[in-house]
């Protein structure tokens, strides 16, 4: 039963749902900030122009506009799953989301207008009139909704990718603790390397260059992630520079260069700079 429950928790649908909840909170926070800025800006403009337009109307209009669109987040997340950029043909993705954005905009505008009519009926003497030209004003609203829809889809997909990377890093660290090997993502392949065979790792832009035995691997990772995996695997990993991690078992010689820095010579002849920032870690390696 426990195994079945664990497998159920790890389904892609549940993983996406978890990522989407986090994304929703971030989007809600940014939309709340945008709402506040819009209301304060409108109030300032009304005051500067000596207009008698009620600020409370702005509060209601912005609240219903932002609030209803945010409430459509679960639907947009579902639509993003049905045509995920990068996982489906781009022509299908474009056509699908253009059509879906029209549906979302219709739901947004109709619900927003309905709420405003109810509020005006309950709180004000006059009715709320949305438009005297439906096509013109729907196109006006759709332009904004299309941008909002595209941003939602992009942020949802990006949030899922970040969550997947987090899970992969956690799985790699767990595997390092259990099997004493590192899992490296190299050019679309997963390469497994014994941690004890790794002499050094060097940061190379968005990659990490790793020397293991007679081979050098270029992995898509951060140096900190590699350092953590090495530590989890029980290897003698030492951060000696902001761009270098070395295995203490492969150090041949350490020489001072002045001003607290050092020159580290590895068994394979590689010369690695050691920064005084990490100098206190080196005596254990000598």
The CB-side HSE value for 45 (13 A sphere, CA atoms) comes to: 8
What's residue 86's pLDDT?
Answer: 81
Are residues 107 and 244 located together in one domain of the fold? no
**Domain coverage including residue 64:** 2-169
Total domain count for the chain? 2
Q: What pTM does this model have?
A: 0.77
Please report the pLDDT score of residue 31 as a whole number.
96
| pLDDT at residue number 4 | 40
Quick check: 46 and 53 in contact, CB under 8 A? yes
- What pLDDT, on the 0 to 100 scale, is given for residue 283? 54
Q: In terms of domains, do 9 and 138 share one?
A: yes
Task: Decide if 136 contacts 176 (C-beta within 8 A).
Answer: no
For residues 256 and 158, state if they share a domain.
Answer: no
Start-to-end CA span in the chain (Å): 51
For the chain, residues with pLDDT lower than 70 are: 1-10, 282-286
* Statement to judge: residues 31 and 60 lie in one domain: yes
Same domain, 33 and 88: yes
Residues 140, 188, single domain; the answer is no
Strands 244-247 and 251-258, bridge-based pairing: unpaired
What ranges make up the beta strands (E) of the chain? 181-186, 189-194, 198-204, 207-212, 215-219, 237-241, 244-247, 251-258, 261-266, 271-274
23 & 135 share domain: yes
Last residue of a domain, one of 140, 169, 198: 169
Residue 63 covered by a domain: yes
Residue with tokens 């090495």: 230
| Domain end position, chosen among 142, 169, 196 | 169
């Amino acid at each position: 039963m426990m195994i079945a429950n664990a497998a159920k928790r790890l389904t892609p649908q549940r993983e996406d749902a978890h990522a989407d909840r986090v994304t929703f909170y971030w989007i809600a926070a940014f939309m709340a900030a945008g709402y506040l800025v819009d209301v304060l800006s409108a109030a300032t403009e009304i005051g500067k122009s000596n207009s008698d337009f009620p600020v409370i109307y702005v509060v209601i209009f912005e609240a219903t506009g932002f609030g209803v669109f945010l409430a459509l987040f679960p639907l947009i997340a579902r639509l993003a799953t049905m045509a995920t950029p990068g996982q489906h043909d781009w022509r299908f993705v474009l056509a699908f989301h253009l059509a879906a954005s029209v549906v979302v905009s219709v739901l947004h505008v109709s619900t927003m207008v309905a709420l405003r009519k109810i509020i005006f009926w309950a709180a004000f003497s006059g009715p709320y009139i949305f438009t005297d030209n439906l096509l013109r004003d729907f196109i006006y609203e759709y332009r904004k909704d299309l941008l909002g829809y595209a941003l939602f889809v992009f942020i949802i997909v990006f949030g899922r990718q970040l969550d997947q990377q987090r899970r992969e890093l956690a799985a790699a660290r767990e595997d390092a603790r259990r099997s004493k090997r590192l899992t490296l993502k190299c050019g679309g392949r997963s390469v497994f390397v014994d941690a004890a065979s790794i002499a050094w790792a060097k940061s190379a832009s968005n990659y990490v260059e790793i020397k293991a035995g007679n081979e050098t691997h270029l992995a898509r990772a951060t140096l900190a992630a590699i350092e953590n995996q090495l530590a989890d695997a029980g290897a003698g990993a030492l951060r000696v520079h902001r761009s270098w991690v070395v295995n203490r078992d492969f150090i041949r010689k350490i020489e001072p260069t002045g001003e607290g820095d050092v020159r580290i010579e590895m068994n394979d002849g590689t010369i690695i700079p050691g920064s005084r920032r990490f100098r206190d870690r080196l005596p254990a390696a000598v």
